[in-house]
Chain A
Amino acid sequence: DVKVTQSSRYLVKRTGEKVFLECVQDMDHENMFWYRQDPGLGLRLIYFSYDVKMKEKGDIPEGYSVSREKKERFSLILESASTNQTSMYLCASSRDRESSPLHFGNGTRLTVT
C-alpha cells in the first residue's frame, strides 16, 4: 500500500511566522501535490511537482512556495503566515502523469492566529 505521511496533524502558528509543512511518500512516485481544503470550496491545488527540484504553480500559489530536494519529500512553505491561510492542507502523490490516481496523506490542520 502507498503511504503518504504528513509530519503534523495539527499546527498552530502566529501571523508572520514562516511555516513548513512536510510530506513524504514511500512508493517512489514521480508526482507530488499540495492541496488546501476549505468548507464549500473542495480541494484547490497550490503547487505540484513532477520531478526532483521541479515545481509548477497550481490554482492558488500566492503566499506559498515549495521544495522538492529528494524524490520522496515535498515541502510546502508559507513564507509569512496569514490568518486566511488557516485551512486543512493535503499532500498527495501519484505514480506518473498517465491517469494514475492520487494517494493522499491524512492532512495537516493549520491554524494561524
Chain B
Amino acid sequence: GEDVEQSLFLSVREGDSSVINCTYTDSSSTYLYWYKQEPGAGLQLLTYIFSNMDMKQDQRLTVLLNKKDKHLSLRIADTQTGDSAIYFCAGITDSWGKLQFGAGTQVVVTP
C-alpha cells in the first residue's frame, strides 16, 4: 500500500510563491491528487496529475512529479490570504481505487 508523507506546516507571505512537498512509497498510482481543506469544510479537489506526466499547470497552480524520487509538489504562485488552508496529497493504494492521504500541510498566508 501507499505511504504518503508531507510536512505539517508552511508559512508564506502574501504575494510570494508557496511550495508544498509530498513523498510517497508506492509508484503504482495512476493519478496523484491535491486536495484543499478550508476551515470547517470538507476536502475540495484542487488538481491532479497523471503518473506519466512530469508537470501540470493550472492557472496559479503547478504540480511537479518526480517519479524516480517518488516526490510530488504543488506550487502556488502569488499566494493570497484565501489560499490559507490545509493541503493534502493523495494516491491510489490498490485496484479498488482507495485513496491514501498524507497528514496534510497547514499553509498560513501572512500579509
Contact = CB atoms under 8 A, between A and B. Distances in A.
B24 interface: no
Contacts of A58: 98
Contacts of B10: none
Given A40-B8, A42-B103, A101-B48, A48 B42 contact: no
Interface in B90-109: 92, 95-99, 101-104
Given A42-B102, A99-B30, A90 B96 contact: no
Given A98-B97, A99-B31, A106 B41 contact: yes
B58 to A, nearest CB: 14
Interface in B18-62: 30-31, 33, 35, 40-45, 48
Contacts of A4: 42
Contact of A102 (B30, B40, B45, B96): B45
B43 A90 contact: yes
A101 B45 contact: yes
- Report the contact-size class of chain B (Cβ under 8 Å from the partner): 20 to 34
Contacts of A96: 97
A25 interface: no
Contacts of B101: 35, 42-43
Nearest to A100: B97
Contacts of B48: 101
A92 B98 CA distance: 11
A42 B97 contact: no
Interface in A67-107: 90, 92, 94, 96-107
Given A104-B44, A106-B42, 13 more contacts: A33-B98, A40-B8, A40-B103, A48-B96, A90-B43, A96-B97, A97-B97, A99-B31, A100-B97, A101-B31, A102-B43, A102-B99, A104-B43
Interface of B: 8, 30-31, 33, 35, 40-45, 48, 88, 92, 95-99, 101-104
